[in-house]
Amino acid sequence: MESIKRNILLNPGPSTTTDTVKLAQVVEDICPREKEFSGLMKSLREDLVKIVHGDSNKYTSVLFCGSGTINIDVCLNSLLPDGKKILVVNNGAYSTRAVEICQYYGLPHIDLRFPVDQRPDLSIVEETLKNNPDIALVHTTHNETGTGILNPIREIGALAHRYGAVFTVDTTSTYAMRPIHIEEDHIDFCMASAQKGLMAFTGLSFIVGNKRIIEQSADYPKRSYYCNLFLQYDFFEKTGEMHFTPPVQTIYATLQALKEYWAEGEEAKWARHTRVFNAINAGLDELGFRQVIKPEWRTGLVSSAIYPDDPNWNFEAVHDYCYERGFTIYPGKISTTNTFRLCALGAIDEKDIQDFFVVFKEALATLGVQTPVIYYT
């Protein structure tokens, strides 16, 4: 087999994959309703719980065919009892997406906003919970991928539980990278997609969460057919299969990615992402780039750099220069500041980042961007 060109993806997922994961998709044709296939899904579901150190008697995982946003949709529309309210602790684009989901379903909710470069103020979160005893679900984002800020989920989860609410966390951009302990972190439901921390492909998303709460939600209002958590869970429990056609090839790739996850190990993998992240920051610092999030609040996976004021700076041109040479950089996701992002996801290491900065510097030089870069204020 000819080797596959290796691109270094510095966008926030899908991430660079190993060749073994890529090739794991090439399998003999199989009908996913065969017992052989449900056996594969059983081990997959168990592994997804183990990654967040969940006790298999208490936690389960439920798979969906879709991109990561499907998980947010499923959790919010499925886990809200009648007459109750959702509190979204919102300091970024992904929590804003959760608010939009509430709006689309007409779910009663409070959009508790904080600035995108600040951590949520826990005393305001508590005050809100105290003043709104009808809040039954608190949702937030672990790593706001738009900026790379790390939210204090353990503390928010503790508050949610103190006031009797279920805690759902969008861990799409931390799961299988930054270690998560579902119980100690006071998480009832977390979520991710195969193409991010697991370093597999798009099309498979999953929610890891508390079985008892899912079973309880059987009686909650049904607001979606395809995206209902209890229906999908129940079907899995009864048949071992996904309710509707699963993403077969992505599941094979994810199984290979899980083998590689366990072989690398949680700690070593996080250490590698940290090396990559440190190399990204060292490169940005050397060139004088400012970042949106202060160092002590960074998750360690996404760097959000502010566009310099140099008139020759042109993100598109820098992007294209790097892209043509195998490195993908990504625009920001903040409406108030022009930023670009470099992410530490995927099957990459420090050396890839050093190689990237050689190309990135060439791009700046070609455009005539002054380095260290300049800011007027």
Ligand X SMILES: *Cc1c(COP(=O)(O)O)cnc(C)c1O
Binding region for ligand X (CB under 6 A):
12-13, 67-69, 94, 141, 145, 170, 172-173, 193
Residue type, 81: P
CA 187 to chain centre: 15
What is the nearest approach in angstroms of ligand X to the Cβ of residue 16? 15
Residue 209's beta-bridge partner residues? 60, 189
What is the nearest approach in angstroms of ligand X to the Cβ of residue 92? 8
Pick 77 or 173: Cβ nearer ligand X:
173
3-state secondary structure 282-299: HHHHHCCCCECCCHHHEC
Pick 254 or 321: Cβ nearer ligand X:
254
Pick 189 or 321: Cβ nearer ligand X:
189
Pick 104 or 262: Cβ nearer ligand X:
104
The encoded tokens of residue 40 equal: 């594969």
How far is residue 336 from each of residues 142, 298, 332, measured CA to CA in Å? 21, 19, 10
Pick 170 or 188: Cβ nearer ligand X:
170
- The owner of tokens 């009832």 is 188
What is the nearest approach in angstroms of ligand X to the Cβ of residue 374? 31
- Phi, psi angle pair for 149, to nearest 5°: -85, 140
CA 115 to chain centre: 20
Which residue minimizes CB distance to ligand X? 68
- Say how far apart CA 43 and CA 38 lie, in whole Å: 9
CB 269 within 8 A of CB 344: no
- Say how far apart CA 143 and CA 55 lie, in whole Å: 24
Pick 67 or 128: Cβ nearer ligand X:
67
